[in-house]
A and B are shown apart, each in its own frame.
Chain A
Amino acid sequence: MSEYIPPSVLRTETFDCLRCGLTVTAFAPDGARRNHCPSCLHSRHVHDQVEGGPSECRARMAPIAIAVLRDGRWMIVHRCAGCGELTSSPVSGDDNRLILVRMAVRPLAQPPFPLETFADL
């Protein structure tokens, strides 16, 4: 008999968001473990991406960009406010859509070149 996995509503582990202070359940509705706050999308630098293993930084990580992988999944790119390291993590189902879309359109709102030239192509 397989091991009983409780539904996510019965898993009561939580963490506090570093930025907005929201008490967040550690598991997303689809059962995956979260690593960022679904309300403000901020995270904490606990994993060292370069060396591997736990990081001693433990500073706040701000979301800076949205990436779409080849298979269509969305990833949030976080940047550590303390040491500047970049990480990416998958978007979970209840993440704040307003902040996600705002990050996606922010480059187009401040283009480094006039977008009118693309109309001629």
Chain B
Amino acid sequence: MPRRNGPARRPQRRKDVPHGPGGAPGGSFRCAGCRLDVPLAAPGTAHRNHCPHCLTSLHVDRRVPGDRRADCGGRMVPLSVTVRPDGEWLIIHECRSCGALSANRIAGDDNALALLRVAVRPLSDPRLREDAFLAL
């Protein structure tokens, strides 16, 4: 199915945030879930914050993406998937240690099977058949 992209949008802002160990600048980061070494260059996004293989992220930003002011540092797991009006998918992450939520656009090389498993999780709930469709 072709993407319904509208007119050309503005390019994404570059963010110079440290990704290396101990706050050092680096070209890659280590996934907190599967230990994959993830390069920062990603197709389709300039703001990669999660592992393309297991979609795990790290709680380092507080209010503004890239501010590096969170003192939690916990592991963030994908909670659900939402869609922007223009068709872009966003992953909603939940911090497993403090419960904070954050949203990030998916990248072009994100694991499609992992994304789809998160997306169909509500629909695979057995209780959905009993009450939701009967209520329509």
Contacts and interface: CB of A to CB of B under 8 A. Distances in A.
Contacts of A118: 112-113, 116
B81 interface: yes
Given A66-B80, A107-B119, A49 B101 contact: yes
Interface in B77-106: 79-83, 87-89, 92, 94, 100-103, 106
A74 interface: yes
A74 B121 CA distance: 10
A117 B112 CA distance: 10
- Residue among B87, B103, B122 having the largest count of chain A Cβ atoms under 10 Å: B122
B132 A101 contact: yes
Interface stretch (A5-13, A16-24, A33-41, A108-116): A108-116
A25 interface: no
Contacts of A106: 82-83
Given A68-B122, A72-B125, A97-B131, A50 B82 contact: no
Given A50-B62, A72-B125, A107-B119, A77 B82 contact: yes
B135 interface: yes
A65 B135 contact: no
Q: What DSSP secondary structure best describes chain A's contact surface?
A: mixed
Interface residues of A, number: 34
Contacts of B1: 111, 114
Contacts of B94: 67, 88
A86 B103 contact: yes
A50 to B, nearest CB: 5
Given A97-B132, A98-B136, A101-B132, A112 B82 contact: no
17 contacts: A50-B62, A50-B100, A66-B80, A67-B80, A67-B94, A68-B80, A68-B121, A72-B125, A79-B103, A101-B136, A103-B82, A106-B82, A107-B82, A108-B120, A110-B4, A112-B3, A118-B116
Given A107-B119, A113-B112, 10 more contacts: A50-B62, A66-B122, A67-B94, A67-B121, A77-B80, A108-B123, A110-B4, A110-B89, A114-B1, A118-B112
